[in-house]
């Protein structure tokens, strides 16, 4: 039986990235080789969302992210209480000129 070694990773969080971006909309697309997560801000009364960040993941890392997020949402709900999701937004991204 092989022994798994724990690896420690040092992470540097620069000041600009550390400030974060407020995002209230995410759009997920995928191909056979990658998942693309766009995080955007949609302001009330406007029909255009501004993408603040794009993250590109391999399918394996996308699944790891999903599992980690599920685990952390469960921990949050155990400590704070259930998260109530009001409704699912069905937004079709506009694929015209000028989109990333």
Give the separation between CA 75 and CA 97, rounded to whole angstroms: 42
| pLDDT, tens only, 48-93 | 999 999 999 999 999 999 999 999 999 999 999 999 998 766 666 5
pTM over 0.95: no
Distance, C-alpha 5 to centroid of its chain: 29
């Amino acid at each position: 039986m092989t022994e798994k070694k724990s690896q420690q990773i040092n992470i540097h969080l620069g000041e600009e990235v550390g400030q974060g971006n407020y995002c209230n909309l995410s759009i997920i697309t995928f191909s056979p080789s990658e998942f693309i997560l766009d995080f955007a801000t949609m302001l009330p009364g406007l029909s255009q969302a501004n993408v603040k960040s794009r993250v590109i993941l391999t399918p394996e890392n996308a699944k790891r992210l999903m599992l980690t997020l599920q685990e952390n949402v469960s921990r949050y709900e155990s400590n704070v209480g259930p998260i109530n999701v009001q409704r699912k937004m069905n937004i079709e991204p506009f694929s015209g000129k000028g989109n990333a």
